Structure formats: C-alpha cells, structure tokens
Structure 1
Amino acid sequence: MEKAVAREVAKRQNTVQVDYKTYNPQPDLAPLVKFYWTLNVPFDPNNQKQKIIPDGCIEMTFNLGDKIKRYISENEFILHPNAMVMGQRTKSYYILPVGNVDTIAICFYPHGFANFVNTPLEKLVDKEVPVAELFGQLAANTLEQQIIQAIDTQERIELIEAFLLRKLNDKATISNIVKSTVDTLLKTNGSTAIKVISEDNLSKRRLLERHFKKQIGISPKQLSKVIRLQATLQMLLNQKSETLTEIAYENEYFDQNHFIKDFKEFIGITPKELLGNENFALSALFYK
C-alpha cells in the first residue's frame, strides 16, 4: 500500500516543471559548504503550500524571482527577504511562492556557517535573517547586486565563493569539539548518542551544549534528531525499505513508536500521512 501511494506522489511530481540542481564547492570551502543549489519553478496558480522540513543545515539564499510567502499561521504569512540566511530549524513550516521561483543558495554543513559570522547562531534559530544584518549593509548589497547582474550560475557561484573566502580569512575557525561531534553525527546518520560522544562526562557534555548553541544554533541532541530524520526520509521517499519497522530498525531507533514520535515532532504528521501529501512535493524533490 505504501509503495502504491509513493508511486502516485512521484507521478504528480513529474508533471511539475521544476529545475533543481546542485553544485559542489571548491576544495578550500568543501569542509564548510555542503553544496550550492539552484531552483527554478514557473508560476502555477494551482500551486499548493509546501511544507519545508528541518535538515540540520543553515542556508544563505538569494531570491532572483518573485516573492515567497512563509506562513506563520494557517492564513497569516510574512514575505522572505530576497537575500537572507535561514537559521537552524526546530520545526517544519509552510511556504508558497507568489510567482516564478528563481533561487540560488549556499547550504552550509551544521558547523560551517559559524566560520563566517560573529553572531551566536542560537539567535538565528527558526528565523530568516537579512544578509545585511549579518555581514553589513554595504557588503551585502554589493554581493546581492553582483549576483543579480551575473550572466549565469557559474559566475554567481564564483562571486559567492570569493565573498566567503574573504570572510573566512577574517577570523578563527570553529572549535574542534563541535566539528568532531558534527562529523560523528553525520557519519552515523545521527544515531550516536550524545552521552557516548561526550564519554558520559557531564562537564564535557555541558561544554558541548554551550559551544553548539553558539556555533550551530541548536543542541547536539536536536541536531542528531534532524540528521537521523533526514536519513529516514531518504529511505521512505525512495522506497528503500519495505516497511516502517525496517526503516526504524536500520536507522537505530529504539522501536517504531520512537521513530513515529520523532517524525511527528519535526514534521507534524506520521510517516504514512506524509506519503501522498501534496504539501510535501517540494521537500520530496530534494531527496530524489
């Protein structure tokens, strides 16, 4: 039954004219930048709200198309800034473009963005912050105008990388304790317990919590949950396991109930309710 519903979702997605591409960063930025992505979607008056799921990453986005609504309640919304940084997310949210979508973005590893700003990242959690607030009005406006005037994606990426490298050379790199923890969580898809990473040492765990709040924005436990959720979504949407029980087992959840509880905490619905839900067509695209 689950596979039949998943096939129907895929069939619906194939009818939408969506152009989503990813690009690798240059070697000097690869430890900090996961990838760059572009998204182009022509306006369709029948478009549905799309639910965006936390992914454990911080993104800087430049909107070259029409405005995008972010809903703060069932009917109330705010408009995304055209150049913004999206902080760590602890919950899902809905967006809806008001016209054509034309976006380029930088997806940073969880530990990556702290290398470029002095602002404690806990201040960015569940927020969209204009680039100018973090990098200064002149630098932000100059970069945004250069990106708008660039002739193609490759030139835009070169401009972004030149900007990031200048910022990277301005300040010290991230603390080793945070980076090693993030590396462990990424390698194990979030399944390694934080008490294991901190060697069951309460003082070390508290130190880790403080560093994470400043340099990642959320706690180690929250990040591990998000990373593990990403792995389960990948399996669920690409039909890589026959049952939800198998998905829970392969991602080292204690049991299926634990899996469903974490799923509902971040997404708001059960895994079965996700399949076939039109509001997740955009999020599902990123896992294909």
Structure 2
Amino acid sequence: MNYETFNPHPDLEPVVKCYWTLEVPNGSQAPKQRIVPDGCIEMCFILGDDIKRFTSEMAYVLQPRAMVIGQITTPYYVQPTGYVNSFAIRFYPYGFANFIRTPIQELADKDTPLHALFDEVSIGSLEQDIIEATSTNERIEIVERFLKNRLNESAVVDQIVKSTIDALYKTKGKASIGTILKEEPHKRRNLERNFSRLVGISPKQLGKIIRLQAALQSLLNKKNETLTQIAYESEYYDQAHFIKDFKEFTGINPKEYLNDEQMMLSSLIYSES
C-alpha cells in the first residue's frame, strides 16, 4: 500500500490542504476499510479498478470514478475490487465551497459525481486528461488549472470561519467555541450560519473531529501510552468521554483500533497527517 501527499501551488494554498495518491497492487485481497471523519472534503479520481462503498453489512454501490466526498459525520466502509490507483485533492474544511454553488451541507455523508456539480463538458475533459496523464505532477498541473479557472476572484475566505478553524487546529480541537470567541461572543450566530454554508457541519462538531484526529495520531505514534494518558493529553473529561467520542466517529473502541485490519488505510493516512 503506497500513500503519498503533495503540496498545492501557493495560489491554492488557502483552500487546498494537499493532493494525495494511493496505490495498492491487485491480488492483495484487502478487507473492507473503515473510513472515519477528518473534517475535510475531497475530490477524488479512481484510476484503477472499481471501489465499493457499503450501504449496509452486505449491500454496496460502486463509487463514481470522479467524485466529491463530502463531510463525513459517521464511519462507513469501502473495499477495492482489484487494483487501487487513486488521485485526490484534499480541501480545507471551508475550501471546496469556493468552487461550487451547491450548498455544501448537501454533500455530507455521500459521494457526489463531479458532473452533478460542474458542467459535464468541462468535467468530461478534466476526467479524460487526468486518466491520460503519465505522472502525478502532470495530474496536479491539470487539476490546478481547473481549480484556478473556477475560483471566484471576488471570493474571500470568511475570516471568522478561517480564524476559528485555525484555532481548532492549533489547539488540536481542545479549545471550545466559546473560548475562541471570548472577545466577540456576539459573532456566535453568524459563525454557526457561515459554518453551515462553507463547511457543512457545525463548529462544535468540527472541533470534536479535529480532537479525535489528534487522539488517533497519539494512538498510532505513542503506542506505549495508556488510554488514560491519551485522554488526558487530548483534554477529554475522562477516559469514558474519550471512548464515547472515539466510538461515535470510528464505530469501535480505541483498543480495537490498533489491531483492526479494517483500519489499515485510515491508520496509514492519519499516521502521516
């Protein structure tokens, strides 16, 4: 399993977090992989064999070959049907809203084909160019041209949203929204409204996801630490609170996480975030 990340052009740095590629050889018989919330929205191109997204224990649909994966609020499962070769753009929580007119909250917890969000002619051309590209750098150049052409020149990243998200990342989700807005509490309602429009989830929910991500990294990188230590470092009320939030977003408890082969992909991604 080969996972790599790449930095965006400076013009897109305010909205694009990174580009990533994932390649898994055919015949690896990968089990279902549990995908958990990370607070970001992604545009993804499937260049290898089809990938299943499970809608129940046994039922599944095939993911679109070119899609946007909206905000994830509950875990779900995917499974490759063969060779995996994916190229994707990971946007900051507020980033993708700058490129579409569709309300961002409508994308949550589903895979939306790109042709449902952009005109079919330009998406058809984009997808074909991505398929025919001979390197990741070429794909990045192609998608950056597409994004730059569609980035509204008058669009300005909402500063109260950005500053709140920056504070959440800086504190690893530990800061409460009330603390972040302590000097300007009257902006709370406006913040909630703009989060719904630009991010697709509430500030509190994003904070919980960011804190969970920090805890996941601690689990992966500090395997000798106890759950109590990780809960303390992440400023959960206690271990029970940590386990409750962990299960809400991953579907399993922390002890199961490290030994669950269905978390191999998530573990690889989050250990390098």
| Deviations 1:163-183, CA, capped at 9 Å, x for gaps | 111111455123211111111
- The separation in 2 between residues aligned to 1:157 and 1:222, in whole angstroms, is 31
- Corresponding residue to 2:218 among 219, 227, 235: 235
2:88 paired residue number: 105
Aligned residues of 1:248 and 1:256 also touching (Cα < 8 A): yes
Compute the displacement of 1:96 (Å): 0.4
1:178-189 alignment runs, 5 A limit:
178-189=161-172
Alpha-carbon distance, 1:197 to partner: 2.1
CA distance in structure 1 between the aligned counterparts of 2:242 and 2:136, rounded to whole angstroms: 39
- Deviation (angstroms), 1:62: 0.5
In structure 2, distance between residues paired with 1:122 and 1:174: 17
Q: Where does residue 208 of structure 1 map in the other structure?
A: 191
Q: Which runs of 5+ in 1 are unaligned?
A: 1-17
For 1:169 and 1:121, locate their aligned partners in 2 and report how far apart those are by CA, in whole Å: 16
Structure 1-normalised TM-score?
0.90
Deviation at 1:231, TM superposition (A): 0.5
Matched, 1:153 2:153: no
1:261 matched to which residue of 2?
Answer: 244
- The aligned counterpart of 2:104 is 121
SS in 2 for 1:286: helix
Aligned length: 271
2-structure distance, mates of 1:90, 1:122: 11
- For the 8 Å contact 1:195–1:201, the answer to whether it is kept is no
User: Deviation per CA, 1:55-103, whole angstroms, max 9, x where unpaired?
Assistant: 1100000011111000010001111000000000001101001111110
CA pair 30-201 structure 1, distance change in 2 beyond 3 A: closer
Flag the 1:135–1:186 CA change in 2: closer, same or farther, 3 A.
same
Structure 2 unaligned spans of 5+: none
Task: Tell whether the 8 Å contact from 1:88 to 1:218 is kept in structure 2 after alignment.
Answer: yes
Tell me the amino acid that sits aligned with residue 162 of structure 2. Answer: K
For residue 221 of structure 2, what is the amino acid of its counterpart?
N
Alignment map for 1:265-280 (pairs within 5 Å): 265-280=248-263
Match of residue 155 from structure 2: 172
Report the Cα distance in structure 2 between the residues aligned to 1:220 and 1:200, rounded to whole angstroms.
Answer: 17
1:116–1:263 CA distance, 2 compared to 1 (3 A):
same
Partner of 1:269: helix, strand, or coil?
coil
Q: What RMSD in Å do the two structures reach over aligned CA positions?
A: 1.5
Paired residues of 1:194 and 1:221 also in contact (CA < 8 A): yes
Tell me the amino acid that sits aligned with residue 117 of structure 1: I
Q: Return the alpha-carbon distance in structure 1 between the equivalents of residues 41 and 173 of structure 2.
A: 17
**Cα offsets for 1:119-168 (capped at 9, x unmatched):** 21111110111111112111111111111111111100000111111111
User: Alignment partner of 1:37: what SS?
Assistant: strand
CA contact (8 A) 2:174 2:235 kept: yes
Q: Distance in 1 between matches of 2:186 and 2:73?
A: 25
Q: TM-score, normalised by structure 2?
A: 0.95
Q: In structure 1, the residue corresponding to 2:44 is in which secondary structure?
A: strand
Partner of residue 35, structure 2:
52
Deviation at 1:232, TM superposition (A): 0.5
- Cα distance in 1 between the residues matched to 2:170 and 2:142: 31
Deviating beyond 3 angstroms after TM superposition, the runs of 4 or more aligned structure 1 residues are 200-203
Counterpart-to-counterpart distance in 1, 2:86 and 2:190: 38
Quick one: which of 64, 67, 75 aligns to 1:84?
Answer: 67
Query: How far is the alpha carbon of 1:45 from its aligned partner?
Result: 6.0
Q: Does the 8 Å contact 2:98/2:152 carry over to 1?
A: no
Deviation at 1:267, TM superposition (A): 0.8
Question: Hey, what's the Cα distance between the residues in 1 that align with 2:18 and 2:144?
Answer: 11
Alpha carbons 1:115, 1:171 under 8 Å: kept: no
